[in-house]
């Protein structure tokens, strides 16, 4: 059973993935973590700095966060990173009969077809913005990333949609979804 948990940045993908992973006893993997490992292992950081004309003296993660808001730079990042991330993801999916993948951009990465179950985590724009602010996203970056992610999920039909607004109990929601998964698969 391959499960994808997706949603906008700061929607609660990782938290929800960990909850259902614990309930189902499945390993969980994040495409963000895979990307970080790929950048280190394959020396992609130098390539990104060169192609995007980044300042090597400024922290790369900060420059990447800002670059994702620029359509041309985001395209360059995606062309460099997505094939490498997808290769690693394929290895994970091949070696794990059951697993959960946490990914913010499944349509752009063209990975939806690899999953038996898809779960979208959502929250109100206000809550997302509050969470992003706590992660030190500036207003311009926050606004642009929110719009990009809204487009990412348009037209996709998910098996489950979970609202993570701080009111609904994620544990109970996860338990109900896991019960359905165990009953139906």
Summarised one tens digit per residue, pLDDT across range 78-98 is: 999 999 999 999 999 999 999
State pTM to two decimals. 0.91
Helices (H), the chain: 13-24, 31-41, 44-52, 60-67, 71-95, 106-109, 125-134, 139-153, 170-184
Phi, psi (rounded to 5 degrees) for 27: -70, 150
Number of domains in the chain: 1
Whether the Cβ atoms of residue 26 and residue 99 lie closer than 8 Å to each other: yes
pLDDT score at 83: 94
C-alpha torsion 97→103→29→117, nearest 10:
-30
What sign for the dihedral angle of Cα 18, 20, 23, 28? negative
Measured at the alpha carbon of residue 127, what is the angle toward residues 133 and 5, in degrees to the nearest 5?
100
**DSSP three-state, residue 115:** coil
Give residue-wise pLDDT tens across range 145-183. 988 988 899 999 999 999 998 767 899 999 999 999 988
CATH value at residue 63: 3.40.50.300
**Which range of residues forms the domain containing residue 75?**
2-184
Q: Phi first, then psi: what are they for 117, rounded to 5°?
A: -135, 135
Residue 181: partners with Cβ closer than 8 Å, 6 or more residues away:
1, 3, 24, 117
- pLDDT tens by residue, 35-94: 999 988 878 888 899 999 999 888 888 898 889 889 999 999 999 999 999 999 999 999
Separation between Cα atoms, residue 125 and residue 89, nearest integer Å: 30
**Which residue, among 142, 152, 146, 164, has the nearest Cα to 17 in the 3D structure?**
164
Residue of 110, 63, 104 whose CA lies nearest to 82: 110
């Amino acid at each position: 059973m391959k499960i994808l948990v997706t949603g906008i940045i700061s929607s609660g993908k990782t938290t929800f993935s960990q909850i259902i992973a614990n309930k189902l006893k499945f390993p969980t993997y994040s495409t963000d973590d895979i990307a970080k490992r790929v950048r280190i292992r394959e020396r992609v950081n130098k390539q990104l700095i060169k192609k995007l004309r980044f300042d090597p003296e400024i922290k790369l993660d900060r420059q990447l966060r800002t670059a994702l808001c620029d359509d041309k730079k985001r395209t360059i990042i995606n062309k460099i990173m997505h094939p490498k991330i997808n290769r690693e993801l394929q290895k994970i999916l091949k070696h794990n009969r059951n697993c959960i993948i946490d990914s913010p951009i499944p349509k752009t990465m063209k990975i939806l077809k690899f999953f038996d179950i898809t779960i979208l985590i959502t929250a109100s724009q206000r809550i997302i913005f509050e969470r992003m602010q706590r992660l030190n996203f500036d207003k311009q970056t926050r606004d642009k990333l929110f719009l990009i992610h809204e487009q990412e999920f348009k037209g996709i039909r998910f098996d489950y949609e979970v609202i993570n607004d701080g009111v609904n109990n994620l544990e109970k929601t996860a338990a109900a979804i896991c019960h359905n998964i165990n009953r139906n698969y």
